[in-house]
Amino acid sequence: MTRTTRVFIELFAPPLLGSSPFLFMAIITGTVVLIPVILLVAYVAAIVPSVIFTGLMELAFWRGLDPRSPGASYLAAFLGLSAGVAMGLVAGGPSAEEHTSVLGLIGMLVGAATGLIVWWKSAQPAVEASPPPSPSTP
């Protein structure tokens, strides 16, 4: 996978993954006209955390972290947790602790899923088995 593809995934997958329960509910309830609104709200709310997530992940990869290592998935989950907690704290309100814990859990799941997508897409291409050498005839 190229670096551009990886950055694209890291930047745009988290808002999509985080909004997926709402997208499924819109499909199930037959209110598919809300899908563009759901996606717009998701990307507006999560674009700054996604940019920070992408920057920190790419910094870790630049410093030598292998995208296929467990550490990359753990880092992605931790950054997702941090982004979710930060979004909960920014939302504030009377139930800020509840929002923070729920958004932290969702962020951790989204970060882990994004890390697994990067891991999966970073797989080494399968090496095709070459045919056995033909016996040489004298």
Per-residue pLDDT of the chain (138 residues; tens, 9 = 90+): 889 999 999 999 999 999 999 999 999 999 999 999 999 999 998 999 999 999 999 999 999 999 999 999 999 999 999 999 998 888 777 777 888 888 899 999 999 999 999 999 987 665 565 666 666 655
How far is residue 66's CA from residue 45's CA, in Å, rounded to a whole number? 29
How far is residue 61's CA from residue 138's CA, in Å, rounded to a whole number? 54
- pTM of the model as a whole: 0.81
